[in-house]
């Protein structure tokens, strides 16, 4: 077990003003693998003061020099890829080969992209007699989740730093070790003191202190819709900018002329990635009523291929959930699905055979799910797919949009133009067309209660900029 005993504030590792610690658990073995400081509001005060003091010099630094630091951070992460991937596989449960590609690959890309954008992004534009300039907002509070922990940190920290802001980060206390590793990398990169600060702790203490702080100019939050509402409420008292990336209940419309084997199999994979602990997971599969039996058969076969097991075993396709609380929550949803009359096609609430230790849930597929059922409406955040019937294309679009969420979606058709036309009618920030690949440069964010603002690429950079007009 490793004890992280200090926070990173003003370019130094310093003890918390509090004395309590939080435990971090290996999701596959249930063993405590680390402890971290349980930070306090006073720690946030110190971090914000450091960030505020560092802001003028950092924001005025030539963008080429800011880019240079980001490249150094990317290189530092690259040098520790295997170590970080192993850590996140233990924290979150993602199989190690995917953890390497996704959980570390994406954060490295985010820092590289932020550096590249500084080379081409225009921070000034002449409009009539006005010189319109885009400049850093100030001190940014970043509050991040546990499911893609370092990726979500990098999606905020890299563009915030690129834009000239200084940062106070509160990582998820459930999967925080990777954040401490990032702080070590940042320290080794020689980032000026106070530009990046790390305060670990729990949301109701550290998160609230960041969101409510008068000297924090913006809060960027990723997590549950419930917590996001609280962040927005608290932040509103000081009228600061708030960016929210929240929950999802994404619909995957499979049209009559789609390649069903390909579409259903891909859809199961998009639902089960990271054991379903993905905000964009395509958890509602909408299928023509006449082809439900066909879809069920394909989905059951695909689910059978998601072998649950320890993330470090080569045969594992589905790791554990992140915690005991998450496991019980997901099992509760599965039980509710059965109780409310959905047809269980694969899996169930029972512990997968031979996996009594670890937070495992069987890959589960329901069919004949109706839109009023709990499993069709609430974000489960586990490996649970709901197959829902529709009778017409118009009804499919209506069902897809019948959600408080609007983060992602999918459409499959034998006619790509037809699929795009349907995709345009889905009220969501990101829609895959015939299994389109994730794009690290494309805007990422949601409609409705899935959030406010966009992350990634130039859109993510612009979230951290203020706009000023100089009238001449």
Catalytic residue among 38, 91, 271, 279: 279
Query: b/e for 169-191, b at 16 or more Cβ within 10 A?
Result: bbbbbbbbbbbbbbbebbbebeb
Q: Give the integer Cα–Cα distance in Å for 333 and 340.
A: 10
Is 142 one of the catalytic residues? no
Out of 38, 91, 208, 245, pick the active-site residue.
245
Longest dimension (CA), the chain: 73
Q: For this structure, is 279 an active site residue?
A: yes
Three-state DSSP string of the chain: CEECCEEEECCEEEECCCCCEEEEECCCCCCEEEEEECCCHHHHHHHHHHHHHHHHHHHHCCHHHHHHHHHHHHHHHHHCHHHHHHHHHHHHCCCHHHHHHHHHHHHHHHHHHHHHHHHHCCCEEEECCEEEEEEECCEEEEECCCCCHHHHHHHHHHHHHHCCCEEEEECCCCCCHHHHHHHHHHHHCCCCCCCEEECCCCHHHHHHHHHHCCCCCEEEEECCHHHHHHHHHHHHCCCCEEEEECCCCCEEEECCCCCHHHHHHHHHHHHHHHHHCCCCCCCEEEEEHHHHHHHHHHHHHHHHCCCECCCCCCCCCECCCCCHHHHHHHHHHHHHHHHCCCEEEECCCCCCCCCCCCCCCCCEEEECCCCCCHHHHCCCCCCEEEEEEECCHHHHHHHHHCCCEECEEEEECCCHHHHHHHHCCCCCCEEEECCCCCCCCCCECCEECCEECCECHHHHHHHCEEEEEEEC
Sequence-distant (6+) residues with CB within 8 A of 104 are 77, 81, 84, 85, 88, 150
Catalytic site positions: 245, 279
């Amino acid at each position: 077990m490793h004890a992280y005993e200090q926070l990173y504030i003003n370019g130094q590792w310093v003890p918390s003003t509090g004395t309590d610690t939080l435990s971090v658990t290996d999701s596959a073995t249930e063993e405590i693998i680390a402890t971290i400081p349980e930070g306090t509001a006073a720690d946030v005060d110190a971090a914000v003061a450091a960030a505020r003091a560092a802001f003028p010099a950092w924001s005025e630094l030539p963008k080429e020099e800011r880019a240079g630091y980001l490249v150094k951070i990317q290189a530092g992460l690259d040098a520790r890829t295997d170590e970080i991937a192993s850590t996140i596989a233990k924290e979150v449960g993602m199989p190690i080969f995917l953890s390497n590609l996704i959980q570390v690959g994406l954060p490295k890309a985010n820092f590289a992209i932020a550096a590249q954008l500084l080379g081409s992004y225009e921070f000034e534009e002449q409009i009539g007699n006005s010189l319109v300039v885009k400049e850093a907002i100030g001190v940014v509070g970043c509050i991040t989740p546990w499911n893609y922990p370092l990726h979500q940190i990098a999606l905020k920290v890299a563009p915030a730093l690129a834009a000239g802001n200084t940062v106070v980060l509160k990582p998820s206390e459930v999967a925080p070790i990777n954040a401490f590793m990032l702080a070590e990398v940042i320290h080794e990169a020689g980032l000026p003191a106070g530009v990046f600060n790390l305060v670990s702790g729990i949301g109701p203490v550290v998160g609230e202190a960041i969101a409510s702080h008068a000297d924090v100019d913006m809060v960027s939050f990723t997590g549950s819709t419930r917590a996001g509402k609280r962040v927005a409420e608290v932040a509103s008292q000081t009228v600061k900018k708030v960016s929210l990336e929240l929950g999802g209940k994404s619909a995957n419309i499979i049209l009559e002329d789609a390649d069903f084997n390909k579409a259903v199999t891909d859809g199961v994979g998009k639902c089960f990635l990271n054991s379903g602990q993905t905000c964009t997971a395509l958890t509602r599969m909408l299928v023509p009523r006449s082809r439900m039996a066909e879809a069920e058969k394909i989905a059951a076969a695909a689910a059978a291929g998601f072998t649950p097991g320890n993330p470090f075993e080569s045969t594992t396709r589905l790791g554990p959930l992140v915690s005991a609380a998450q496991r019980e929550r997901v099992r509760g949803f599965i039980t509710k699905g059965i109780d409310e009359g959905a047809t269980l096609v694969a899996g169930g609430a029972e512990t997968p055979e031979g996996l009594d230790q670890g937070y495992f849930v069987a890959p589960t597929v329901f069919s004949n799910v109706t839109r009023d059922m709990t499993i069709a409406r609430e974000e489960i955040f586990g490996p649970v797919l709901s197959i829902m019937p529709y009778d017409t294309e118009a009804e499919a679009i209506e069902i897809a949009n019948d959600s408080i969420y609007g983060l992602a979606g999918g459409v499959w058709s034998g006619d790509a133009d037809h699929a795009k036309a349907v995709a345009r009618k889905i009220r969501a920030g990101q829609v895959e067309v015939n299994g389109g690949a994730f794009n690290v440069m494309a805007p990422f964010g949601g409609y409705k209660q899935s959030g406010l603002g966009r992350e990634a690429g130039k859109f993510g950079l612009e979230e951290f900029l203020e706009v000023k007009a100089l009238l001449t």
